[in-house]
Amino acid sequence: MAASAEEKKLARQIARSLARQYPDATCSLHFHTPLELLVATILSAQCTDERVNQVTPAVFRAYPTAAHYARAPLGQLERAIQSTGFFRNKAKSIQACCRRLVEEYGGEVPQEIERLVELPGVGRKTANVVLGTAYGIASGVVVDTHVARISRRLGLTRQKDPAKIEGDLREQLPPKEWIALSHRLIQHGRKYCTARNPRCDQCPLNELCPRIGVEKK
């Protein structure tokens, strides 16, 4: 359903406030190439970005191209990423993804979301991360746990499903806002709008936020 004028107005106000508060917000995963960001994003599932950033320098040195991941002994790759959790599934996903990259795209990460989401281990969130951060392509809004939580608290969505939350945000804001919005909401979630005990009294969005679902003290 299309966003109303009031919903769009609120979203624009929130986006402007976040831009003032976090003008330099960017992806917290460390990478140099689209492939590195793709791998790091797969590793970040159920894991902190800080932990991923501790693991990836050695991983990226050991596997500099998609072909290296594709032909690596699976057990070796598992050991390299073990501390990120769920390492067996992640290793299988990374290897299967990179084999497809080698077979179909010459080892390069495609720049079309339709192609990215067809790769093993790559959902819409991961595709949006790679396209937005590595290529500067506004394919959509990255919805992680921070973005989902804050969007509901701000009244930007009532949805719980990430795809539906993304749909609401895409309706409310123009594509030029999509990439930065995710980074800024994530920073805001870490600094103020935490899952437990959000710092509402200090929050720069205090006057705009209806605090939906936030328990009053």
Task: Report the catalytic residues.
Answer: 125, 144
Mark out the alpha helices in the chain (DSSP H runs): 5-21, 34-43, 49-62, 66-71, 74-81, 87-105, 113-116, 124-129, 145-153, 162-172, 175-191
Rounded to whole angstroms, the Cα distance separating 40 from 44 reads: 6
| Placement of tokens 């929050």 in the chain | 203
**Nearby residues of 159 by Cβ (< 8 Å), 6 or more positions away:** 152, 165, 167, 168
Is the backbone of residue 203 left (phi > 0), alpha (psi -120 to 50) or beta?
beta
Rounded to whole angstroms, the Cα distance separating 197 from 174 reads: 32
Rounded to whole angstroms, the Cα distance separating 186 from 145 reads: 9
**Nearby residues of 95 by Cβ (< 8 Å), 6 or more positions away:** 69, 70, 72, 74, 77
Q: What is the DSSP letter of 195?
A: S
